[in-house]
DNA sequence: GAATTCCCCTG
DNA sequence: CAGGTGATATTG
């Protein structure tokens, strides 16, 4: 229960835990704010409290332009400047071939401000931040891939092997070859058939059978292949169709990735996409205790549980929309029909543009949902990185769909699908059996709680 | 670092 | 409502 006193203290402290739970109505100005708003705190005698933005607006207040209490909790606007800096950092790492000017343009801010933001939040200018990551990635590739030094240099976004030499030497004091010689895991496989091989190490245990079966049940024929120890998928990266195989190597505790050498320049993207699909960076030794803390019994926790990822938000959105209100089997059969009819090459997943133009005669679906699918594809075509607020503006895309995509296609480990029907049933059944679950206690790992509950057999 | 924008207070 | 203050985000 949020009492007035609690609200007052929360807003004075700008406590982020209360963000979204109530709003501050400032009577003297007719403006309403979030508890975290950075503006000078109004006097208590001038404020009222409301518990939703709708309520506030209905009372005649207009949203503050600083904290944007009207925007949805998913949007960048809601999350403020900190996420701009985080997005910038992410883009600098993931698009190493793109100029820094271009990055600031994509963020909608000036190059100068980007520089300032990076200094403020990471204490390092963008250029330096990027080079640092390029060196780390290069080091990793030297250790864990069979790429030549030349390939590594171009792969991480340097224009020449010489550049790699300079930067790597200034950071580590070693030359690329010295780094390669000190590699911990010997690479038995030399480059053959022009395939690049990269090892992705994970921290065990790893429940590969669960992941494999999950993917097998939702396979897109042609785009994906599954075998006992491997998952193969064709990624769409900047117009290229890159077939990547991820092979489970339990003895060595890594996945072995392979893909054609002609896509060296995509290696950062490929590694990041595969890492997401495999949820490679999950740390079970931290997650399992968190799950126990919130009330799960150890028998209900699968050791090595991972979130089966989807490497593109577009694909995740398509799967989610076609999955609304139908069974998994029905949903995937629709996805497959769509893929068979509209895929450009049988391997590559449909492009947003093609989908937005299609009459969708290939699938049986209510007209309203077809419209939703097309509008969504149009949005992804025009603005691939559109934030979730824009998704929600589409008729037919609601909080469930967005949350589901957030769970499977972003690296947010804290997506709690408390509105999901199955989750509610599970919670109810557990409660009746005398087992209470306090989801907040396993933050920031609530994605794993969501999956654990889905997996529960009752 | 100045200028601008924004919000809140007081009279 | 006007005028004044303090603070933040952003630009050039």
Nearest nucleotide to A47 by CA–C1' distance?
Answer: B8
A106 touches strand C (CB under 7 A): no
Phi first, then psi, for residue A327 (nearest 5°) are: -75, 165
Phi-psi domain of A123 (left: phi exceeds 0; alpha: psi -120 through 50; beta: other): left
More confident residue, A220 or A456: A220
CB within 7 A of strand B (chain A, 8-27): 24, 26
Nucleotides on strand B lying under 7 Å from protein C-beta: 1, 5-10
What distance in Å separates the CA atoms of residue A381 and residue A366, rounded to the nearest whole number? 23
- Give the three-class secondary structure for A199: strand
Residue A399: CB partners within 8 Å, gap ≥ 6? A392, A419
Q: How far is the CA of A414 from the C1' of B7 (A)?
A: 33
CB within 7 A of strand B (chain A, 172-201): none
**pLDDT digits 0-9 by tens, A394-440:** 999 999 999 999 999 999 999 999 989 999 999 999 999 999 999 99
A222 touches strand C (CB under 7 A): no
Question: What single string gives the DSSP state of each residue in A270-310?
Answer: HHHHHHHHHTTT--HHHHHHHHHHTT--GGGS-TT--PPP-
Joined tokens for residue A416: 């709690």
Average pLDDT over residues A238-261: 96
What distance in Å separates the CA atoms of residue A184 and residue A206, rounded to the nearest whole number? 21
Query: Is the preceding peptide bond at A237 cis, omega within 30 degrees of 0?
Result: no
A43 touches strand B (CB under 7 A): yes
Asked if A260 and A194 touch (Cβ cutoff 8 Å), the reply is yes
CB within 7 A of strand B (chain A, 113-132): 116
Q: How far is the CA of A127 from the C1' of C10 (A)?
A: 21
Report the pLDDT value the prediction gives residue A186, as an integer from 0 to 100.
56
pTM of the model: 0.87
Cross-sheet strand order for the sheet of A230-237: A195-201, A254-260, A240-249, A230-237, A224-226
Report the pLDDT value the prediction gives residue A241, as an integer from 0 to 100.
97
A41 touches strand C (CB under 7 A): no
What distance in Å separates the CA atoms of residue A275 and residue A200, rounded to the nearest whole number? 8
- A251, A214, A266: which is closest to A96 by C-alpha? A266
Report the pLDDT value the prediction gives residue A80, as an integer from 0 to 100.
86
Report the pLDDT value the prediction gives residue A385, as an integer from 0 to 100.
86
A121 touches strand C (CB under 7 A): no
The 10 Å Cβ neighbour count of residue A58 is 10
Q: What confidence tier does A191 reach under pLDDT thresholds 50, 70, 90?
A: low
Is A4-70 a domain of CATH 3.40.10.10?
yes
Q: What confidence tier does A187 reach under pLDDT thresholds 50, 70, 90?
A: low
């Amino acid at each position: 229960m949020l009492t007035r006193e609690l609200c007052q203290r929360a807003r004075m402290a700008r406590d982020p835990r209360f963000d979204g739970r109530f709003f501050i109505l400032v009577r003297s100005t007719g403006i309403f704010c979030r508890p975290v708003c950075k503006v000078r705190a109004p006097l208590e005698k001038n404020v009222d409290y409301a518990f939703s933005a709708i309520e506030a607006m209905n009372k005649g207040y207009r949203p503050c332009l600083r904290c944007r209490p009207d925007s949805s909790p998913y949007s960048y606007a809601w999350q403020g400047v900190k996420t701009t800096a985080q997005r910038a950092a992410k883009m600098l790492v993931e698009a190493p071939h793109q100029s820094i000017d271009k990055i600031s343009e994509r963020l909608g801010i000036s190059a100068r401000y980007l520089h300032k933001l990076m200094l403020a939040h990471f204490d390092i200018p963008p250029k330096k931040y990027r080079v640092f990551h390029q060196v780390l990635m290069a080091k990793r590739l030297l250790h864990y891939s069979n790429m030549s030094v030349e390939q590594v240099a171009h792969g991480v976004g340097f224009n020449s092997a010489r550049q790699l030499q300079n930067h790597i030497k200034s950071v580590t004091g070693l030359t690329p070859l010295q780094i390669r010689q000190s590699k911990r895991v010997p690479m038995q496989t030399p480059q053959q058939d022009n395939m690049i091989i990269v090892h992705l190490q994970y921290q065990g245990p790893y429940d590969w059978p669960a992941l494999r079966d999950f993917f097998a049940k939702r396979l897109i024929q042609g785009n994906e292949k599954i075998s006992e120890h491997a998952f193969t998928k064709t990624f769409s990266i900047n117009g290229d169709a890159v077939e990547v195989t991820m092979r489970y190597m339990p003895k060595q505790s890594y996945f072995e990735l392979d893909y054609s050498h002609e896509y060296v320049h995509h290696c950062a993207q490929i590694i990041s996409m595969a890492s997401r699909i495999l949820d490679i960076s999950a740390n079970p030794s931290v997650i399992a205790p968190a799950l126990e803390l919130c009330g799960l019994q150890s028998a209900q926790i699968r050791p090595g549980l991972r979130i089966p990822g989807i490497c593109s938000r577009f694909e995740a959105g398509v799967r989610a929309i076609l999955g609304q209100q139908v069974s998994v089997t029905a949903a995937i059969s629709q996805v497959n029909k769509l893929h068979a009819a509209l895929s450009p090459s049988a391997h590559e997943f449909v492009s947003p543009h093609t989908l937005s133009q299609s009459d969708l005669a290939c699938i049986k679906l209510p007209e309203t949902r077809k419209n939703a699918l097309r509008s969504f594809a149009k949005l992804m075509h025009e603005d691939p990185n559109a934030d979730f607020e824009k998704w929600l503006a589409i008729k037919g895309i609601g909080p469930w769909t967005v949350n589901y995509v957030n769970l499977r296609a972003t690296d947010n480990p804290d997506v709690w699908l408390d509105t999901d029907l199955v989750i509610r049933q599970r919670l109810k059944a557990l409660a009746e059996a005398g087992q209470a679950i306090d989801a907040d206690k396993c933050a920031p790992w609530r994605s794993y709680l969501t999956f654990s509950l889905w997996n529960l057999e009752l």
